Amino acid sequence: MGESSEHPIALTIGTAGHVDHGKTTLVRYMTGTDTDRLEEEHRRGISIVPGYAELELPSGRRASLVDVPGHERFVKNMVSGSTGVDAFLLVVAADDGVMPQTREHLDVLRVLGVETGVVALTKIDAVDEETVELAALDVEELLESGGISAPVVPVSGVTGEGIERLLGALDTLAADPTDSRSGGLARLPVDRAFVLKGIGVVVTGTLWSGEIRPGDILHTASGHRPRVRGIQNHGRPAEVAYPGSRTALDLAGVEASQIEAGDVLLSQPMPQTRAFDARLRLLEGAKPLAHGVRVRLHHGTRATNARVRLFGRGELAPGDSSLARLSLEEPLVLLAGDRFVLRSLGPQVTVGGGKILDTALKGRKPEPGWLEALERGDPAGTIPLALARAPHQGMTAADLSLSVSVTPEEVAAAAENNPELTSIGSLYAFTTEVEAAKERLLQALRRRAQERAEDPLLSVAEARVATGLSVGLADALVLAMSAAGEIRSTDAGIGTPDAGEIPPELEREAEKLLDELRLWWSQPPTMEPTPALRLLLKRDEAVELGGTFFASREAAEGVLEEIKTACREEGGISLAGLRDRLGTSRKFAQAWLEYSDNQGVTSRTGDVRVLTRRYR
Ligand SMILES: Nc1nc2c(ncn2[C@@H]2O[C@H](COP(=O)(O)OP(=O)(O)OP(=O)(O)O)[C@@H](O)[C@H]2O)c(=O)[nH]1
Ligand SMILES: [Mg+2]
């Protein structure tokens, strides 16, 4: 437990090398673990699937070793095992020298961005010194051609000769804290999923980023939400799975049939991607790659067929690179910055690979300028470009982290150093956009205050509709502007700072109108609902009759009294009866009777109104 908290970013080392060159033997010598777990591996004397062991280094630091198979038929398993490793342990048998999968594995590692490591020149007990020297030269040449520098250590996995030096060299390797660029997202590509009797569903993998703790709810791409019951790291219970660590999870809430090797467990739901834009690199030894060709794409512990579309060229030459769009036959959970490996479909060999630049294509045409900026990876350049794609919305630091592969700190620094960027609430947006949005919001509120001085508040939703702001930006603006006193925010809605105070002119107008209504009494003229009238209605000083007549509250009460009296005296009142009592026209009598019905004073039986029970 002590060790893991001292080294929260775990070092993961992946073996590499041609079949039978002694990878598993070396791992067993160094760790005491036989990584060939399968009966078939023992029977055939070769590794088939990746195996895992813990290695204690001379400094006391612990590393995870991933032992991959060397046979050419299992390169796909090697690719899956090598995903998430920080460094390589390339094993070359001194009696055999550099062989095809020595090269192919090194190619895969380079494509995956794993360029540091150590070479073990093994089986030195079985050959003379001269053969060891020749093999060493062979290896040096291979490394040089790949532009890689790594110590070459002669060893024997049988006698243990040279192992101490090898461990010393491995101890100098650094783990890559890849975590911060994914905004804290935990991602675990599953390499094994099985059922343990008495425990349940167990999955294993190398945690790419983020942290996982018991009790966490994780998400699969197919929508399952397993809960983490327990965590193990190399067979020991662990409180936390740290980025880079070898992780076994005991899961609740998921059936064995719902999760398999190749799935990705995530700390938050993520959309799957069917196409992405990338920088694609073709290996020196590969055949030219034609526009439109189908290939096998390996990402994490998953592989799918894909079609390659090269941007602005018909063919990619060996050793060359191009921006390209890859369309997948099966969707995958991908993030900008992820590496992928491409293998040909015909003879299945590794032909190249690359780095994902953009997964959020949304049907857009390729934009080389944008992709080149993403590729340069300079936050000061990419953040404005990302914002420019939906300028009215703004983006959170987490959105930006996921879409252009920057850390939240880089987002904050970029916003601080660039006056064109502003942070508002949890959003980042262009200063001009924020200013314009503020102005639009204020205008909408001022317009409302003018048109409806008696009811000047808008709900946030109404304000959004009126201004066309996104939900996130509207909420952030409302919070920021009300905190700054630029708008007034109440439970009833938002308004200009002085919203709710009735302008004196309107007050005077309303008073004048009320006087007129009182004079007209039961026979008001038809009128439009002006602000002054609406203010009287809101204050209950005026009432509405059938939508076209408005009378003073006193007149309405007087008329209702008249109706009640008539009913009590005569048992009911007809239209003509009320017309005569009020000395008015049928039109007004009709409107008042309907008003009386609506107020629950009378109800209609035939041509006559009678008092409702309440007023009898
Ligand atoms: N003499 C000698 N034999 C070795 C040494 N290392 C491995 N071997 C033998 O070489 C054979 C292959 O060794 P493995 O460790 O299985 O080779 P591998 O690289 O893991 O093979 P794959 O995983 O199938 O690619 C076995 O018979 C080992 O006993 C060594 O240092 N000296
Ligand atoms: Mg092996």
pLDDT, tens digit, for every residue of 310-329?
A: 998 999 999 999 999 999 99
Q: Is the CB of 337 under 6 A from ligand 1?
A: no
Are 100 and 72 in contact by the 8 Å Cβ rule? The answer is yes
d(CA 613, CA 260): 72
pLDDT at 3: 41
pLDDT at 469: 84
Q: Where are the alpha helices (DSSP H) in 124-265?
A: 129-145, 163-171
d(CA 539, CA 557): 16
Q: Which residues is 241 bridged to in the sheet? A: 212
| More confident call, 347 vs 296 | 296
> Which ligand 1 atom sits closest to the C-alpha of 45?
16
pLDDT, tens digit, for every residue of 452-496?
A: 877 888 888 888 888 888 888 888 899 899 888 899 888 888 888
Q: Is the CB of 70 under 6 A from ligand 1?
A: yes
What b/e sequence results for 176-199 when a residue is b if at least 16 CB atoms lie within 10 Å of its CB, and e otherwise? Answer: bebbebbbebbbbbbbbbeeeeee
- Mean pLDDT over all residues of the chain? 90
Q: Is the CB of 126 under 6 A from ligand 1?
A: yes
Residue 301, exposed/middle/buried by CB under 10 A (0-12, 13-18, 19+)? Answer: buried
Of the candidates 543, 562, 561, 568, the one whose C-alpha atom is nearest the C-alpha of residue 553 is 543
pLDDT, tens digit, for every residue of 136-171?
A: 999 999 999 989 999 999 999 999 999 999 999 999
- Count of other CB atoms within 10 angstroms of residue 38: 12
pLDDT at 1: 37
pLDDT, tens digit, for every residue of 225-279?
A: 999 999 999 889 999 998 888 999 999 999 999 999 999 999 999 889 999 999 9
- Count of other CB atoms within 10 angstroms of residue 172: 12
pLDDT at 470: 84
DSSP element (H, E) containing 568: helix 553-570
DSSP element (H, E) containing 187: strand 187-196
Are 298 and 326 in contact by the 8 Å Cβ rule? The answer is no
Q: Give 181's pLDDT tier (boundaries 50, 70, 90).
A: low
Q: Is the CB of 71 under 6 A from ligand 1?
A: yes
Q: Name which residue sits closest to atom 13 of ligand 1, judged by CA.
A: 22
pLDDT at 7: 46
pLDDT, tens digit, for every residue of 521-540?
A: 988 888 888 888 988 988 88
Are 357 and 374 in contact by the 8 Å Cβ rule? The answer is yes
d(CA 224, CA 284): 42
Q: How far is CA 347 from CA 18, 228, 287, 300, in A?
A: 18, 41, 11, 22
d(CA 387, CA 366): 17
- Structure pTM? 0.73
pLDDT, tens digit, for every residue of 375-426?
A: 887 888 888 888 887 778 889 888 888 777 788 888 888 888 889 999 888 8
Q: Is the CB of 95 under 6 A from ligand 1?
A: no
pLDDT, tens digit, for every residue of 18-55?
A: 999 999 999 999 999 999 999 999 999 999 999 999 99
Q: Where are the beta strands (DSSP E) in 375-504?
A: 395-396, 421-424, 427-430, 488-490, 493-495
Q: Give 5's pLDDT tier (boundaries 50, 70, 90).
A: very low
Distance 46 CA to ligand 1 centre (A): 9
pLDDT, tens digit, for every residue of 553-606?
A: 999 999 999 999 999 999 999 999 999 998 888 999 999 999 999 999 999 988
Distance 13 CA to ligand 2 centre (A): 15
Of the candidates 578, 576, 514, the one whose C-alpha atom is nearest the C-alpha of residue 543 is 514
Q: Is the CB of 156 under 6 A from ligand 1?
A: yes
Distance 20 CA to ligand 1 centre (A): 5
d(CA 570, CA 552): 27
